[in-house]
Amino acid sequence: MPQQPIFERRNVLVTGGAGFIGSHLCERLVKEAHVICVDNFITSSVSNIEHLLQDPNFEFINHDIIQPLDLESLPELERFKLRFQGIQEIYHLACPISKRHFDDFKIATVLTNSVGVKNMLDLAVKYHAKIQYASSSVLYGPRQPGKMHYSEMDECHINHMTTRGAYDEGKRFSEAILQTYADVYGLDVKIARIFRTYGPRMKIFDGNLIPDMVLSALDNKDIIIAGDEESRTSMAFVTDIVDGMVRLMSTPVDITLLNLGSDQDVRLVAIAQKILQLTGSVSRVRFEPPFMHLTEVGLPDITRARDILGWFPLVRLDDGLQRMIDFSKSYKHLISF
Protein backbone atom coordinates (compact mmCIF):
# COMPACT_ATOMS: atom_id res chain seq x y z
CA MET A 1 0.00 0.00 0.00
CA PRO A 2 1.41 3.46 -0.88
CA GLN A 3 2.52 5.77 1.89
CA GLN A 4 0.22 8.59 0.73
CA PRO A 5 -3.58 8.30 0.81
CA ILE A 6 -5.25 7.32 -2.45
CA PHE A 7 -7.98 9.88 -1.98
CA GLU A 8 -8.07 13.53 -0.98
CA ARG A 9 -8.06 12.86 2.77
CA ARG A 10 -6.17 10.16 4.64
CA ASN A 11 -8.01 7.85 7.02
CA VAL A 12 -6.92 8.14 10.65
CA LEU A 13 -7.97 5.97 13.59
CA VAL A 14 -7.84 7.47 17.09
CA THR A 15 -8.46 5.18 20.06
CA GLY A 16 -9.42 6.89 23.29
CA GLY A 17 -10.64 9.70 21.05
CA ALA A 18 -13.33 10.85 23.48
CA GLY A 19 -10.82 11.34 26.26
CA PHE A 20 -9.10 14.53 27.34
CA ILE A 21 -6.12 14.53 24.97
CA GLY A 22 -7.83 12.28 22.41
CA SER A 23 -10.72 14.68 21.82
CA HIS A 24 -8.34 17.57 21.20
CA LEU A 25 -6.37 15.36 18.81
CA CYS A 26 -9.55 14.44 16.89
CA GLU A 27 -10.45 18.14 16.73
CA ARG A 28 -7.05 18.89 15.18
CA LEU A 29 -7.01 15.96 12.73
CA VAL A 30 -10.55 16.33 11.39
CA LYS A 31 -9.48 19.53 9.64
CA GLU A 32 -7.33 17.51 7.25
CA ALA A 33 -8.33 13.84 7.52
CA HIS A 34 -11.18 11.38 7.91
CA VAL A 35 -11.14 10.63 11.62
CA ILE A 36 -12.47 7.40 13.12
CA CYS A 37 -12.79 7.92 16.86
CA VAL A 38 -12.99 4.75 18.97
CA ASP A 39 -13.90 4.87 22.66
CA ASN A 40 -16.09 3.04 25.18
CA PHE A 41 -16.53 5.94 27.63
CA ILE A 42 -15.14 3.97 30.57
CA THR A 43 -13.34 7.08 31.83
CA SER A 44 -14.11 9.56 29.03
CA SER A 45 -17.23 11.49 28.02
CA VAL A 46 -19.42 11.97 24.96
CA SER A 47 -19.49 15.69 25.77
CA ASN A 48 -15.82 15.89 24.72
CA ILE A 49 -16.68 15.02 21.10
CA GLU A 50 -20.28 16.21 20.84
CA HIS A 51 -19.26 19.16 18.71
CA LEU A 52 -17.59 16.81 16.20
CA LEU A 53 -20.44 14.34 15.69
CA GLN A 54 -22.06 16.31 12.85
CA ASP A 55 -18.80 16.73 10.93
CA PRO A 56 -18.87 14.50 7.79
CA ASN A 57 -15.15 13.80 8.21
CA PHE A 58 -15.65 12.40 11.71
CA GLU A 59 -17.19 9.12 12.84
CA PHE A 60 -17.50 7.74 16.35
CA ILE A 61 -17.40 4.00 17.09
CA ASN A 62 -18.37 2.79 20.56
CA HIS A 63 -16.02 -0.14 21.06
CA ASP A 64 -13.75 -1.70 23.68
CA ILE A 65 -10.39 -2.25 22.01
CA ILE A 66 -9.60 -5.35 24.02
CA GLN A 67 -12.01 -6.93 21.52
CA PRO A 68 -10.96 -7.24 17.85
CA LEU A 69 -12.17 -4.40 15.66
CA ASP A 70 -13.34 -5.10 12.08
CA LEU A 71 -13.63 -1.62 10.64
CA GLU A 72 -14.67 -2.75 7.17
CA SER A 73 -17.79 -4.45 8.53
CA LEU A 74 -19.20 -1.18 9.93
CA PRO A 75 -21.69 0.45 7.54
CA GLU A 76 -21.16 3.90 9.06
CA LEU A 77 -17.57 3.84 7.76
CA GLU A 78 -18.41 2.97 4.16
CA ARG A 79 -18.09 6.61 3.10
CA PHE A 80 -14.40 6.49 4.06
CA LYS A 81 -13.85 3.65 1.52
CA LEU A 82 -11.71 1.56 3.86
CA ARG A 83 -11.72 -1.46 1.52
CA PHE A 84 -9.89 0.60 -1.08
CA GLN A 85 -7.97 3.19 0.90
CA GLY A 86 -7.42 1.42 4.22
CA ILE A 87 -6.06 3.29 7.24
CA GLN A 88 -2.98 5.47 6.96
CA GLU A 89 -2.42 6.39 10.62
CA ILE A 90 -3.39 5.01 14.03
CA TYR A 91 -3.10 7.10 17.19
CA HIS A 92 -3.46 4.78 20.15
CA LEU A 93 -4.44 6.77 23.26
CA ALA A 94 -7.00 4.40 24.78
CA CYS A 95 -6.31 3.56 28.42
CA PRO A 96 -8.63 3.89 31.43
CA ILE A 97 -7.23 6.61 33.63
CA SER A 98 -8.53 7.80 36.96
CA LYS A 99 -6.23 8.89 39.76
CA ARG A 100 -8.90 8.88 42.45
CA HIS A 101 -10.72 5.73 41.27
CA PHE A 102 -7.80 3.80 39.83
CA ASP A 103 -8.73 0.54 41.59
CA ASP A 104 -12.09 0.43 39.80
CA PHE A 105 -10.42 -0.02 36.41
CA LYS A 106 -7.40 -2.22 37.10
CA ILE A 107 -8.43 -5.15 34.90
CA ALA A 108 -9.52 -2.87 32.06
CA THR A 109 -6.20 -1.02 32.36
CA VAL A 110 -3.97 -4.08 32.22
CA LEU A 111 -5.93 -5.59 29.29
CA THR A 112 -5.95 -2.32 27.35
CA ASN A 113 -2.17 -2.08 27.82
CA SER A 114 -1.66 -5.60 26.45
CA VAL A 115 -4.48 -7.13 24.41
CA GLY A 116 -5.68 -3.71 23.28
CA VAL A 117 -2.24 -2.71 22.04
CA LYS A 118 -1.92 -6.01 20.16
CA ASN A 119 -5.29 -5.49 18.47
CA MET A 120 -4.28 -2.02 17.27
CA LEU A 121 -0.91 -3.30 16.06
CA ASP A 122 -2.66 -6.06 14.12
CA LEU A 123 -4.70 -3.37 12.38
CA ALA A 124 -1.50 -1.46 11.62
CA VAL A 125 -0.03 -4.62 10.06
CA LYS A 126 -3.19 -5.21 8.02
CA TYR A 127 -3.26 -1.69 6.61
CA HIS A 128 0.51 -1.00 6.60
CA ALA A 129 -0.36 2.02 8.73
CA LYS A 130 1.83 4.21 10.88
CA ILE A 131 0.98 3.81 14.55
CA GLN A 132 1.67 6.17 17.43
CA TYR A 133 1.33 5.17 21.07
CA ALA A 134 0.61 7.61 23.88
CA SER A 135 3.04 6.46 26.56
CA SER A 136 3.79 8.18 29.85
CA SER A 137 6.44 9.94 31.87
CA VAL A 138 5.78 7.48 34.72
CA LEU A 139 8.24 5.11 33.02
CA TYR A 140 11.14 7.24 34.27
CA GLY A 141 10.08 6.61 37.85
CA PRO A 142 10.06 9.13 40.70
CA ARG A 143 12.18 12.25 40.52
CA GLN A 144 15.65 11.44 41.84
CA PRO A 145 17.78 13.74 44.01
CA GLY A 146 20.18 15.73 41.87
CA LYS A 147 18.46 14.81 38.60
CA MET A 148 15.73 17.04 37.23
CA HIS A 149 15.45 16.29 33.48
CA TYR A 150 15.02 12.87 31.88
CA SER A 151 15.91 12.04 28.29
CA GLU A 152 14.78 9.21 26.04
CA MET A 153 18.11 7.50 26.68
CA ASP A 154 17.50 7.22 30.44
CA GLU A 155 16.51 3.80 31.71
CA CYS A 156 13.00 3.16 32.98
CA HIS A 157 12.82 2.63 36.74
CA ILE A 158 9.39 1.57 37.99
CA ASN A 159 8.16 -0.87 40.58
CA HIS A 160 5.76 -3.11 38.68
CA MET A 161 4.44 -4.72 41.89
CA THR A 162 2.70 -1.61 43.26
CA THR A 163 -1.04 -1.12 43.14
CA ARG A 164 -0.50 1.03 40.01
CA GLY A 165 1.44 -1.65 38.16
CA ALA A 166 -1.43 -2.19 35.73
CA TYR A 167 -0.79 1.32 34.40
CA ASP A 168 2.94 1.86 34.99
CA GLU A 169 4.19 -1.55 33.90
CA GLY A 170 1.40 -1.65 31.31
CA LYS A 171 2.87 1.39 29.59
CA ARG A 172 6.36 -0.13 29.58
CA PHE A 173 5.08 -3.47 28.28
CA SER A 174 3.12 -1.67 25.57
CA GLU A 175 6.30 0.02 24.36
CA ALA A 176 7.97 -3.41 24.19
CA ILE A 177 5.09 -4.81 22.12
CA LEU A 178 5.31 -1.88 19.70
CA GLN A 179 9.06 -2.26 19.27
CA THR A 180 8.65 -6.01 18.69
CA TYR A 181 6.06 -5.44 15.95
CA ALA A 182 8.36 -2.84 14.40
CA ASP A 183 11.21 -5.35 14.36
CA VAL A 184 9.16 -8.27 13.01
CA TYR A 185 6.77 -6.55 10.60
CA GLY A 186 8.71 -3.42 9.69
CA LEU A 187 5.99 -1.16 11.07
CA ASP A 188 6.56 2.58 11.39
CA VAL A 189 6.06 2.87 15.15
CA LYS A 190 6.04 6.12 17.11
CA ILE A 191 6.06 6.43 20.91
CA ALA A 192 5.25 9.73 22.61
CA ARG A 193 6.20 9.78 26.28
CA ILE A 194 3.79 12.42 27.51
CA PHE A 195 4.45 14.42 30.65
CA ARG A 196 1.87 16.25 32.74
CA THR A 197 -0.71 17.90 30.52
CA TYR A 198 -3.56 20.25 31.34
CA GLY A 199 -6.39 22.00 29.54
CA PRO A 200 -10.15 22.06 28.99
CA ARG A 201 -12.04 18.72 29.20
CA MET A 202 -9.93 17.28 32.00
CA LYS A 203 -11.97 15.25 34.47
CA ILE A 204 -12.80 17.11 37.66
CA PHE A 205 -12.59 15.88 41.25
CA ASP A 206 -10.63 12.86 40.04
CA GLY A 207 -7.22 13.81 41.38
CA ASN A 208 -6.44 16.18 38.51
CA LEU A 209 -5.26 19.21 40.42
CA ILE A 210 -5.62 21.98 37.84
CA PRO A 211 -9.33 21.63 36.93
CA ASP A 212 -10.16 21.06 40.59
CA MET A 213 -8.23 24.19 41.54
CA VAL A 214 -10.08 26.24 38.93
CA LEU A 215 -13.55 25.09 39.96
CA SER A 216 -12.76 25.56 43.64
CA ALA A 217 -11.53 29.08 42.95
CA LEU A 218 -14.66 29.93 40.96
CA ASP A 219 -16.80 28.71 43.87
CA ASN A 220 -14.58 30.45 46.46
CA LYS A 221 -13.88 27.09 48.11
CA ASP A 222 -10.56 25.94 49.52
CA ILE A 223 -8.02 24.97 46.85
CA ILE A 224 -6.61 21.61 47.89
CA ILE A 225 -3.09 20.62 46.88
CA ALA A 226 -2.14 16.95 47.24
CA GLY A 227 1.35 17.64 48.58
CA ASP A 228 3.16 20.42 50.39
CA GLU A 229 4.41 23.93 49.61
CA GLU A 230 7.44 22.56 47.77
CA SER A 231 5.52 20.11 45.53
CA ARG A 232 6.50 20.73 41.93
CA THR A 233 5.54 19.60 38.47
CA SER A 234 5.76 20.52 34.80
CA MET A 235 2.65 21.63 32.92
CA ALA A 236 2.16 21.53 29.14
CA PHE A 237 -1.06 22.77 27.56
CA VAL A 238 -3.02 20.13 25.68
CA THR A 239 -2.85 21.82 22.26
CA ASP A 240 0.95 21.87 22.47
CA ILE A 241 1.00 18.13 23.20
CA VAL A 242 -1.36 17.45 20.29
CA ASP A 243 0.86 19.49 18.00
CA GLY A 244 3.86 17.44 19.09
CA MET A 245 2.00 14.19 18.43
CA VAL A 246 0.97 15.24 14.94
CA ARG A 247 4.53 16.32 14.15
CA LEU A 248 5.92 13.05 15.50
CA MET A 249 3.59 11.05 13.25
CA SER A 250 5.05 12.76 10.19
CA THR A 251 8.68 11.85 10.96
CA PRO A 252 10.67 9.19 9.06
CA VAL A 253 10.53 5.54 10.08
CA ASP A 254 13.81 5.70 12.02
CA ILE A 255 12.32 8.17 14.55
CA THR A 256 10.54 6.19 17.26
CA LEU A 257 10.62 7.63 20.79
CA LEU A 258 10.27 11.26 21.88
CA ASN A 259 9.44 13.09 25.10
CA LEU A 260 6.59 15.59 24.90
CA GLY A 261 6.02 18.01 27.77
CA SER A 262 7.19 21.18 29.42
CA ASP A 263 10.75 21.29 30.74
CA GLN A 264 9.92 24.12 33.16
CA ASP A 265 9.59 23.29 36.87
CA VAL A 266 6.60 24.94 38.57
CA ARG A 267 5.50 24.84 42.22
CA LEU A 268 1.89 23.75 42.63
CA VAL A 269 1.27 26.53 45.12
CA ALA A 270 2.42 29.06 42.51
CA ILE A 271 -0.13 27.63 40.07
CA ALA A 272 -2.83 27.98 42.72
CA GLN A 273 -1.84 31.58 43.32
CA LYS A 274 -2.03 32.34 39.59
CA ILE A 275 -5.53 30.85 39.47
CA LEU A 276 -6.60 32.96 42.46
CA GLN A 277 -5.25 36.07 40.75
CA LEU A 278 -6.92 35.32 37.41
CA THR A 279 -10.31 34.51 38.96
CA GLY A 280 -10.29 37.16 41.67
CA SER A 281 -11.21 34.38 44.10
CA VAL A 282 -11.04 34.63 47.88
CA SER A 283 -10.31 30.91 48.23
CA ARG A 284 -7.58 29.68 50.55
CA VAL A 285 -4.93 27.09 49.67
CA ARG A 286 -4.95 23.94 51.78
CA PHE A 287 -2.51 21.03 51.66
CA GLU A 288 -3.37 17.34 51.98
CA PRO A 289 -1.30 14.14 51.74
CA PRO A 290 -0.81 12.99 48.13
CA PHE A 291 -2.49 9.86 46.82
CA MET A 292 -0.66 6.66 47.69
CA HIS A 293 1.93 5.60 45.09
CA LEU A 294 1.65 8.91 43.21
CA THR A 295 5.15 10.37 43.23
CA GLU A 296 6.68 13.57 41.92
CA VAL A 297 8.05 12.87 38.45
CA GLY A 298 10.94 14.65 36.78
CA LEU A 299 10.92 17.03 33.87
CA PRO A 300 11.33 16.03 30.24
CA ASP A 301 14.51 16.69 28.35
CA ILE A 302 12.92 17.86 25.09
CA THR A 303 16.16 18.36 23.16
CA ARG A 304 15.27 15.64 20.64
CA ALA A 305 11.78 17.04 20.11
CA ARG A 306 13.27 20.49 19.49
CA ASP A 307 15.92 19.17 17.11
CA ILE A 308 13.79 16.65 15.20
CA LEU A 309 10.33 18.22 15.24
CA GLY A 310 11.17 21.87 15.75
CA TRP A 311 8.72 21.54 18.64
CA PHE A 312 8.52 23.11 22.06
CA PRO A 313 5.56 24.24 24.21
CA LEU A 314 4.21 27.60 23.09
CA VAL A 315 1.25 28.25 25.41
CA ARG A 316 2.30 30.26 28.47
CA LEU A 317 1.01 28.99 31.82
CA ASP A 318 -1.00 32.17 32.44
CA ASP A 319 -2.67 31.87 29.03
CA GLY A 320 -3.39 28.17 29.48
CA LEU A 321 -4.91 28.71 32.91
CA GLN A 322 -7.06 31.53 31.54
CA ARG A 323 -8.38 29.18 28.83
CA MET A 324 -9.26 26.63 31.50
CA ILE A 325 -11.01 29.30 33.56
CA ASP A 326 -13.00 30.49 30.53
CA PHE A 327 -13.96 26.90 29.68
CA SER A 328 -15.02 26.17 33.25
CA LYS A 329 -17.16 29.31 33.42
CA SER A 330 -18.89 28.46 30.13
CA TYR A 331 -19.51 24.78 30.85
CA LYS A 332 -19.76 24.79 34.64
CA HIS A 333 -23.46 23.94 34.54
CA LEU A 334 -22.77 20.96 32.26
CA ILE A 335 -19.82 19.48 34.13
CA SER A 336 -20.76 16.21 35.77
CA PHE A 337 -19.45 15.59 39.26
Query: Could you list the active site residues?
Result: 167
Q: Distance between CA atoms of 102 and 293, rounded to whole angstroms?
A: 11
* Sign of the Cα pseudo-torsion (48, 54, 59, 65, in order): positive
Contact 243, 236 (CB under 8 A): no
What SS3 string covers 123-174? HHHHHCCEEEEEEEHHHHCECCCCCCEECCCCCCCCCCCCCCHHHHHHHHHH
Q: Distance between CA atoms of 189 and 185, rounded to whole angstroms?
A: 10
Angle at alpha carbon of residue 95, lines to 94 and 96, rounded to 5°: 130
Burial class (CB in 10 A: 0-12, 13-18, 19+), 109: buried
Phi and psi for 284 in degrees, rounded to 5? -105, 155
Strands 232-233 and 266-267: antiparallel
Residue 297: partners with Cβ closer than 8 Å, 6 or more residues away:
137, 138, 140, 141, 142, 143, 195, 196, 233
Q: Distance between CA atoms of 300 and 292, rounded to whole angstroms?
A: 23
Between the alpha carbon of residue 215 and those of residues 35, 135, 222, 267, 326, the distances in Å are 32, 28, 10, 19, 11
Helix, strand, coil percentages (3-state) for the chain, rounded to 5, are: 40, 20, 40
Contact 145, 85 (CB under 8 A): no
